[in-house]
Amino acid sequence: MPSELLKGFRLLDLTDEKGALCGKMFADLGAEVIKVEPPAGCSTRRIAPYLEDKADPEHCLYSIAYHAGKKSVTAKLATDEGRALVAELAAKSDFLVESYPLGYLDSIGLGYDVLAKKNPRLIYASITPFGDTGPGKDYNWADIITWAAGGMMYLMGEEHKPPLQMSLPQAGLHAGGEAAVAMMLAHYPRQIDGLGQRIVVNMQACIVWTLMNEQAMPFLHGNHLSRTGIFVGSTDARRKMVYECRDGHISTLIAGGTTVGNSTKALIEWMGESGFGSDWMRTKDWVSWVPGVFMKMTEQDYKEIDDLETTIQRFLLTMTKHEIYAQGLKRRIFLAPVANVADVAADEQLKARDFWTAVPHDTIGRTLTFPGPFAKMSATPIGATTRAPRIGEHTDEIYRSLLGLTPERLNKLRAAGSI
């Protein structure tokens, strides 16, 4: 059943891939989300890959995923009638999120200042590549540009090789998620004083916030992180983080101290049972071992770590991910299998938590399995319960029920190309 957490609230979604997740989150929370798109459909309906390799909007996996739970109406903003319809919808909405080029909606009478005069309660979020002030406010965007300008791309890739782009474009997902959070934060004071406000989300800033593991390095370790591939840590305390095994990869960390030292000791003891390892590994006090001042390792530290990492790699190649993980849990070792998509789909913990959700999709004639909600709530469960809408599927329904348009008026608007 639909969530009742935001039941009775309405969000107008005027975004492309820079904000599609925002509307999806509101739909999961039970709000009525009306996606406004051009008569030919939003650009998010033309993002590969496509289900069953059918390159049409209804088989676009991006659209299927991020528009689930929404309703769709069409409106051509280049026409007076189309703009008027959106303005009327905004007057009857609680939230609006948009990702048009900066200033465009203001220029056609759909900016915050105009719409807030008719609807002071409106919370209006604009998702922009670089914000709405400063020398970069009018810069164009692409996912790779945002990742690069936000700093994260510098850390992605192998040492002494060029930076790498994130394989799946997701800067817009970060921005959409932050927009949803910001609007809910603005929702609280509105419930008190009845007034909405405008929110500007800066995609570049959203990516900067993903650098949390780097920001402390200059203060705590006196250096900066750089590209290290499968290694982790600063230049002076680098450790291997990913190892091969018989059927994939395992992630684990060799370290000392009270947090990970006992894990390292347990792994060495396990290796010893199978004939792997050296005497120095078994006799070293890993709990007390903290390399150097500010985690800087000595030449001896590096020799020992190289020896240990080489031994661990040979040991893990004798087993599968499942075998290693089972023993890791039993022995309380700090490790986990590097799961591929098939592993995630078959994960016993996700299955036990009823994470996956079956959503009937009559448009394509099959039921699809969706990731479940991001949180379990006992009184107000959340999660999409309806498929992604077809382009303009709810145009007549919404315009008739909310705006009072007659069938004759709708036919004229459609004939004029306004919807």
**What is the average per-residue pLDDT within 68-82?**
97
HEC string for 378-418 = CCCCCCCCCCCCCCCCCHHHHHHHHHCCCHHHHHHHHHCCC
Query: For 155-204, what is each residue's pLDDT tens digit?
Result: 888 888 999 888 788 899 999 999 999 999 999 999 999 999 999 999 99
- State how far the Cα of 229 lies from the Cα of 348, in Å rounded to an integer: 29
* Global confidence as pTM: 0.90
pLDDT given for residue 236 in this prediction: 63
Q: Is the per-residue pLDDT at 296 higher than 60? A: yes
Phi and psi torsions of 99, nearest 5°: -140, 30
Query: For 199-250, what is each residue's pLDDT tens digit?
Result: 999 999 999 998 876 766 665 666 677 777 787 766 666 778 999 999 999 9
Q: Is the per-residue pLDDT at 294 higher than 80? A: no
CA-based radius of gyration for the chain:
26
Mean pLDDT of the chain: 91
Strand-pair category, 335-337 with 248-252: antiparallel
Contact in structure between 176 and 206 (CB atoms under 8 Å): no
Nearest alpha-carbon partner for 315 in 272, 278, 271: 271
pLDDT given for residue 384 in this prediction: 66
